[in-house]
Structure 1
Amino acid sequence: MRLWWTWVTSGALLCLIVTFLPTDSLPTSVIYYSIGVATVVATVAGVRRQRPADPWSWYVFAIGISCFVAGDVLFEVTGWFLGERPYPYWNDALYFLGYPFLWAGLLLVARRRGGARDSAGLIDSAIIGTAAGLVDWVFLIIPVLGESGTPLLERLVSAGYPVCDVLMLAVVARMLTRSRGRTPSVLMLAAGSTLTLVCDVLWTLSMSSGGQVASVINGGFLLGYVCWAAAALHPSMRWESAGDEPVSDRFGRGRLIVLACATLLVPAVLFLQGLRHEPIAWASVGIGAVVIFLLVLTRMYGFVGQLQKQAAQLEDLAMHDPLTGLANRRQFERRLADTTEGGCPQVCVLDLNGFKAVNDRLGHAAGDRLLVVIAERLAAELRETDAVFRMGGDEFAILLPGATVAEGDAIVTRLSRALRRPAVVGGERLPIGGSIGIADATGTDDPFEVLRRADVAMYAAKAADGTYRRYTADLEHRSGGELRDRVVAGQH
C-alpha cells in the first residue's frame, strides 16, 4: 500500500499545482505529460505487481489511456512545430480511438468482479445513459451541429465528444449499478472516468462559447489519470466474485435517487428550454421520454417479478421444514382444512420411540440425520395423493385424502413396518420405531377435531404396544381421561 499512497498523494499534489499555473506554461506541459506517461506505466506495473486473474481487461484499459496520452502529446507537439493547434487534428483521432478501449476495459473489469447476470443493473445504466444523452443532444450536440459558419468536420468532431462522454457515463453507471463488485479499485476507476467525462463536457462548452480552456480543467483531466492508475495499484484490483453467480435485484435508496433524477431530466429539459426562450426540441424530448418510459416499465416489471419470486420463496420457507424438506405444521393445518371441507380424509399422527435416547447418546447431529432418514421412509410408503408433514421435534403427520378405512389401515401398517427397520446413522445401526394414531372426519367438519382424534389414538398406541391404533370413542374415557390429559400436555 506504500506505493499506492505515494502515487495518490504525489499525483493529487501535482494536479493541484497545475490548477494554479498558466495553461500554456512549460511547467504545466511538463507536469501534464509526465503524469500521463506515468499513468500508463503505473497501470501496467500495477497489473504486473498485483497479478489479477483478468490481466487483459486492465491491459485493454491501459491501451485506451495510452491513446489519450498520445493525443495529449501530439496536441502539444503540433503547437510547437506549427505555431498553432489546428482543430480537428490527428490528436482528436487518437482520443476517439482510445474511447472504445476504455469502455471495453471498464466493462471487463466490472464484469469479472460483479457477476454476469444483472439485467436490472443493465436497465438502470440504460436509463441514466438515455437521460444524459438527451441533455447532451439538446444542449450540446444540436447547438454545435447548428453552427452554420463552422466547417462540417469540426462540427462532427465537436459533437462526437459529447456522444463518447454519454457512452462513458453509461459504462460507469453499469459498473456502479452492479449489486456486487464495487471494490475500492472499481470505485477509483469510476471516479477517474467520471472526472474525464465532466472535464470533457467543460472543454466542449468552453470551445462552443469561444472561451479558453481553464487550468482547472487540465487539473481535472490529470486527476482522472491519477485515479485510473491508483485503481491498478490498489490490492483490491485482485478481488473477484463468481462470474456466473446470479445477483439480487437490490433497489437501495441511493439507486432510487439517481434513477429519479435521471427520469426527471426529461421535464427539466423542457423547463430549461422554455426558461431560455429556445425552440423546444419536441422530437428529441419525445423520443427520449418514450425510451425512458419503456426502460422504467421494463425495470418495474422485472422488479415486481423479483418481489413475487421472493414472496414465493418466503412462502415456501414458511411452509416447509428446513431439515427434512417436508411441509410443516402450518402447511398441514391449511391442507387439512381444505381436505376436510371437501371430503372425509384419514389423518395419521406419528411419534418416534426412543428418539430422545438417540439425541442424548449420539448427539443432535445424529438425531437430525435420523429424522431425515425417517422422513424419506415415510414418503416412500405413501400414495401420490398422500402427504407427510413434520409437526415439530420427532412428531410427524400424514394426510390421506380420499382413503377408505381399509386403505388407511393398510398404509399405516406399511408405515409401521418401515419404521421398525433399523436406521444406519454415523455407521451405527439404530433400532427405531414409532407410535401411530389414525383417525377420520366421521361426524365432524372441524379439521382440528380430526387432528385431536389422531393425537388421542397415537397416545393410546404409545401407552399400549407402541405400534398404531385407530381412533374410537372409547379411547376418550379410558383410564379416567388420562389419555386426554396427555394429549393436552403434549400440545403445550
Structure 2
Amino acid sequence: MRTRYRPLPWQLHTVCSTVVAVLCVLVPAGLLHDALFSCVSLSAAVATAVGTRLHRPQRASAWWTLTAGLLAWALGDITYAVCYTWLDWQDFPNVPDLFYVLAYPLIAVAMLRMARQARPGADREGVIDASILAVGFGLLSWTFLVRPALAELPQDLPAGLVALAYPVGDVVVLAMLVRVFAAAGHGSRAFGLMAGAASTMLLADALWQWADAYTTNDATWVDGVFVVSYVLWGAAALHPSMRRLSDPSPSSRHEFSTLRLVVLTAASLLAPGTLALQLALGLPPEGWAVVVSSAVLFVLVVARMAALLGRLREQTALLGDLARTDPLTGLLNRRSADAELERLRTRARHEGSALVVALLDLDHFKAFNDTLGHPAGDRLLVGAASAWTAALRGSGVQLARWGGEEFLLVSCGLGADRVEHLLTGLRAVVPEGQTFSAGLARWDGHEDAVHLVARADQALYAAKHAGRDCTRTAPAPALDVEGPARRAG
C-alpha cells in the first residue's frame, strides 16, 4: 500500500503564504491589499514562533528574538494600513515608524546571537568582514538614500532621526547577516532561506526608500518584494535544519573562501564606485564622504590582511607541531627523535660530553590493552608521557614516543649512572600501577645513532628476559673492547 504524502510544515507554510502573497500583489492598493499584505507579514512572525516551539533548537534565544523583530515589523505593516489607508493620517513620523524602527535592532541582535553561538569566543575576522560591508554599503546608502531623504524633510529633528534610522538599520542588519554567514555558514536549507529572507527584506526596504526619495508614483509595487521576504522568513524557521543554524560550525567553515574574497573586494570598491556613479549621473560628488569611507575601508582591509596572516602563521605552526609530535601523547615522534638524537650526537662530539640513550617499554601492555580495551591503553600511554615529562622537567633530558608502548630517552651531559637514577624516579610515577623495562646505552664517541639505539634495544630485551621492571645497560661496542687487546699484542 502506498504511503500517503503529507507535506512538511515549512512546505505547507510556503504554499499557503505564497498564495496569499500572489493575491496581495494582484489586488490594487486599498484596504483589501493592505489586509492581505498584513496577513503575509504576520504569518512570518507566527511561523518563526511555531518553528522555534516545534523544532526546539538548543539555543533558542536567537530565534525568539527574531520572532520579536518580525512581529514588530508585522505590527508596523498593520498600523501602516490603519493609519495611512484607513484613517488617512499622512504625518511623518507616525505610529508605524515606531514598530519598523524597533524591528531593526531586534533582527540584528537575533543574527548577532546566532553568529556568536555558532562561533563562540573572539571572531575578529567576522567583525572586520562585517565592518567592511557596513562601511561600503553605508556610503552607498548615505549618498543615494539618506541625503535625499533628509533634504526633503522640514527642519524637524524627530522626523530627521526616523528617516535616518531606516537606512542605518538596513546597514546594521546587513552587517549582522555577514557575521552569520562568516560564523554559521553550515550550508543548511534553513540558512539559505534565512539569508534570502534578510537580503530580500533589505532590498525591498532600499527600493521603498529610493521610490520615496526620487519618484512621486505609488510605491505599492515594492510590496511584492516584501512578501517574498516574509515567506522566506517563515520557511527558514519551520525547516528542520534550523536546529543546526546556531550550532558551533566546523573550523573548515572559517576559511577565507573565494566567495568571501569576491564579496569583500566588491564592498571595498563601493567607495570609488559610488563616486564614479555620481559623476556618470551628473550628481554633485560627496567628496568628504568618499574620502572618509575610503580611508576606513583601507584600514579595515589592512586589518583583515593582518588577521589572515596571523591565522596563516597559526596554521603553519600547528602543521609544524603535527609533523614533529606524536598526536596521542604530544611527545616528539620517531622522525623528530631521530633528528634530535643526531643533533645531540653532534653536540656531544664537539663538547666531549656524555651521550646516553634509553629505550623504555611498558610491561605487559598488550595484556593491559586486551583486558581493559584500547581506550584504557591510550589513557595509560598519555598518562605515562605526562608523568614522565613532568618528572624530567629541568633535567635537559629529551623524551619521545618511539613507537607503540616504547619511549626513547636521550641525555647529553649526564652520565649513565645519572640517567639510570632518573629512570628509577620515572618508575615511581607510572600510572595505573604499571611498570616498565628499560635498556640503556652510552655512546662511544664514534658509532652512528642507529647502532647506538640498537644497543639500547638489545639491553631492553635483556631487561625483559631478566623479569621486567628493571634496567639493563648495554656493554660497550666490540671495537672498543677488542681494540686495546690488539694494541697490547
TM class by shorter-chain length? 0.7 to 0.9
Q: AA paired with 1:474?
A: A
Larger mean Cα displacement after TM superposition, 66-75 or 311-320 = 66-75
Tell me if 1:387 matches 2:398: yes
Q: AA paired with 2:292?
A: I
Distance 1:374 1:152 in 2: 77
Question: Residues 136, 369 of structure 1: CA spacing in aligned structure 2 closer, same or farther, 3 A cutoff?
Answer: closer
Q: What's the RMSD between the two structures over aligned residues?
A: 3.7
Distance 2:42 2:298 in 1: 44
Distance 1:96 1:25 in 2: 24
The structure 1 residue matched to 2:52, chosen from 47, 54, 59, is 47
CA contact (8 A) 1:115 1:246 kept: no
Shift of 1:102: 2.4
Distance 2:339 2:228 in 1: 64
Distance 1:237 1:64 in 2: 17
The structure 1 residue matched to 2:20, chosen from 14, 26, 31, is 14
DSSP-derived class of the 2:269 partner: helix
Tell me if 1:193 matches 2:198: yes
DSSP-derived class of the 1:129 partner: helix
Question: Residues 341, 475 of structure 1: CA spacing in aligned structure 2 closer, same or farther, 3 A cutoff?
Answer: closer
Larger mean Cα displacement after TM superposition, 84-93 or 97-106 = 84-93
5 Å-filtered alignment, 1:187-336, equals 187-239=192-244, 249-336=254-341
Tell me if 1:346 matches 2:355: yes
User: What's the counterpart of residue 482 of structure 1?
Assistant: none
Distance 1:360 1:232 in 2: 49
Question: Residues 477, 462 of structure 1: CA spacing in aligned structure 2 closer, same or farther, 3 A cutoff?
Answer: farther
CA contact (8 A) 1:320 1:327 kept: yes
Shift of 1:394: 4.6
Q: AA paired with 2:321?
A: D
CA contact (8 A) 2:133 2:175 kept: yes
Distance 2:140 2:73 in 1: 25
CA contact (8 A) 2:114 2:245 kept: no
Question: Residues 303, 424 of structure 1: CA spacing in aligned structure 2 closer, same or farther, 3 A cutoff?
Answer: closer
How big is each residue's C-alpha offset from its partner over 1:122-159, in whole Å with a ceiling of 9 and x where there is no partner? 22111111111011112222233344xx5234665444
Question: Residues 242, 361 of structure 1: CA spacing in aligned structure 2 closer, same or farther, 3 A cutoff?
Answer: closer
Shift of 1:367: 5.9
Distance 2:383 2:50 in 1: 58
Distance 1:155 1:251 in 2: 40
Q: AA paired with 2:14?
A: V
CA contact (8 A) 2:43 2:230 kept: no
Q: AA paired with 1:6?
A: L
Q: AA paired with 1:387?
A: Q
Shift of 1:225: 1.7
CA contact (8 A) 2:135 2:293 kept: yes
Shift of 1:55: 4.7
Distance 2:232 2:173 in 1: 16
Tell me if 1:117 matches 2:122: yes
User: What's the counterpart of residue 181 of structure 2?
Assistant: 176
Question: Residues 321, 282 of structure 1: CA spacing in aligned structure 2 closer, same or farther, 3 A cutoff?
Answer: same
Question: Residues 359, 31 of structure 1: CA spacing in aligned structure 2 closer, same or farther, 3 A cutoff?
Answer: same
Shift of 1:315: 1.5
Distance 1:159 1:373 in 2: 62
Question: Residues 244, 176 of structure 1: CA spacing in aligned structure 2 closer, same or farther, 3 A cutoff?
Answer: closer
Shift of 1:379: 4.6
Aligned length: 463
Distance 1:230 1:330 in 2: 55
Question: Residues 58, 400 of structure 1: CA spacing in aligned structure 2 closer, same or farther, 3 A cutoff?
Answer: closer
Larger mean Cα displacement after TM superposition, 191-200 or 73-82 = 73-82
CA contact (8 A) 2:136 2:297 kept: yes
CA contact (8 A) 2:30 2:85 kept: no
CA contact (8 A) 1:203 1:213 kept: no
Distance 2:334 2:244 in 1: 44
Q: AA paired with 1:449?
A: D
Shift of 1:248: 7.1
Shift of 1:81: 4.9
5 Å-filtered alignment, 1:409-448, equals 409-412=417-420, 414-415=422-423, 432-440=436-444, 442=445, 444=446
Question: Residues 364, 216 of structure 1: CA spacing in aligned structure 2 closer, same or farther, 3 A cutoff?
Answer: same
The structure 2 residue matched to 1:164, chosen from 169, 192, 204, is 169
Distance 1:163 1:353 in 2: 67
How big is each residue's C-alpha offset from its partner over 1:357-390, in whole Å with a ceiling of 9 and x where there is no partner? 6489759837656655664675566462111222
Question: Residues 360, 271 of structure 1: CA spacing in aligned structure 2 closer, same or farther, 3 A cutoff?
Answer: closer
